[in-house]
């Protein structure tokens, strides 16, 4: 697909600077370094606050891009700018527009779909090779299910959701416009046992998983179903690869969980919580809205809003002061 600069301005509701030809056709998106004259790139001064702004500005001066999305005009740089409120978000919008794959529809002859399965609009869906749908599954409009996926046990998939290959889903409700990447496990039995001197007896899990709208779940992540209460993931939450969410957890809206983060059973993340890579949060805790847990931090108690590091996780500034003091002691 192609788009004119003039069309881009209208679509993003932006303001142009230093643009000589609004009829220039843009065909792709690229980085500052690699962009050509018919491509779009972006430069966000706020995102680069912790980086070497001088080096990045030099890259900007050298870029050959046809248009640069930015949040403000850059002094001493005469490049064709399109000024928008959020360059990165606008850039992603254009990537989707220019590089969106053609919609697939149809049902593979090798798919196994039992008579209990319900489709909201069967003609609008794509079901790949060797997909298994059974036990009262419901599939919404425009759903895409790639090869070797298993969905069962009263699960519901909302419209416009995409499920990549080798995913298993059971006892789950997944909302609209979600993306479930390859190898994800949703609704598996949780890690719950009744222990005694004779050993550990497994406790049957009769809860479900509820995933909201516009949720992304990265490759090979696991979301266990609840023992009694449902495991819940709120609207807009983004989960990276290899993340573990235990039985009965409640993750609020618009949370971010980076790779290898983990939640033990029954933990509550309120809205807009961020969990860094390899962070671990103990069971049956509550993390207040807006809290940030740094990578590899270990949380063993409830947290008020703030930024936390280390193990046991503590206030960032307190943690850093201790690190400085420790370095002085060992000199």
247 is catalytic: yes
Alpha carbons 142 and 139: distance in angstroms, whole number: 9
β 144-145/162-163 pair status: parallel
Distance CA 73, CA 57 (A): 12
Q: What's the CA gap between 288 and 105, in Å, rounded?
A: 43
Q: What tokens does 172 get? A: 């789950």
Sign of torsion over alpha carbons 89, 93, 94, 98: positive
Q: Is the peptide bond before 312 cis (omega within 30 degrees of 0)?
A: yes
Catalytic residue among 99, 166, 205, 247: 247
Rg (CA), the chain: 24
Can you tell me whether residue 93 is helix, strand or coil? helix
Show the tokens assigned to 249: 């957890």
Provide the H-helix boundaries in 17-138.
53-62, 87-99
- Tokens for 124? 């609008």
d(CA 316, CA 60): 34
Whole-number Å distance between alpha carbons of 76 and 57:
10
The answer to whether 152 and 134 are in contact (CB under 8 A) is yes
Give the tokens for residue 130. Answer: 């060797």
Catalytic residue positions? Answer: 247
């Amino acid at each position: 697909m192609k788009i004119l600069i003039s069309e881009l301005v209208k679509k993003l509701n932006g303001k142009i600077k230093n643009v000589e030809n609004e009829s220039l056709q843009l065909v792709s998106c690229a980085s500052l370094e690699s962009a050509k004259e018919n491509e779009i790139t972006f430069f966000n001064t706020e995102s680069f606050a912790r980086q070497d702004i001088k080096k990045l500005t030099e890259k900007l001066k050298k870029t050959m891009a046809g248009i640069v999305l930015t949040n403000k005009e850059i002094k001493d740089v005469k490049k064709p700018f399109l000024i928008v409120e959020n360059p990165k978000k606008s850039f992603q919008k254009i990537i989707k527009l220019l590089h969106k794959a053609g919609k697939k529809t149809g049902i593979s002859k090798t798919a196994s779909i039992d008579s209990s399965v319900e489709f909201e609009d069967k003609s609008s869906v794509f079901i790949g090779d060797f997909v298994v749908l059974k036990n009262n599954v419901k599939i919404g409009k425009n759903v895409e299910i790639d090869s070797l996926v298993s969905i069962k046990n009263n699960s519901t998939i909302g419209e416009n959701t995409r499920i990549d290959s080798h995913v298993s889903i059971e006892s789950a409700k997944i909302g609209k416009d979600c993306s479930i990447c390859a190898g994800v496990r949703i609704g598996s039995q949780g890690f719950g046992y009744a222990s005694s001197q004779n050993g550990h007896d497994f406790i049957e899990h009769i809860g479900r998983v509820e995933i909201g709208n516009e949720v992304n779940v990265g490759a090979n992540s696991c979301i266990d179903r609840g023992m009694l209460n449902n495991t819940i993931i709120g609207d807009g939450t983004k989960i990276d690869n290899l993340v573990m969410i235990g039985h009965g957890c409640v993750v609020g809206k618009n949370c971010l969980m980076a790779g290898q983060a983990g939640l033990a059973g029954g933990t509550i993340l309120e809205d807009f919580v961020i969990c860094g890579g390899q962070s671990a949060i103990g069971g049956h805790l509550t993390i207040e809205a807006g809290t940030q847990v740094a990578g590899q931090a270990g949380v063993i108690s409830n947290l008020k809003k703030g930024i936390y590091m280390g193990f046991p996780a503590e206030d960032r500034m307190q943690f850093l002061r201790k690190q400085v003091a420790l370095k002085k002691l060992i000199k």
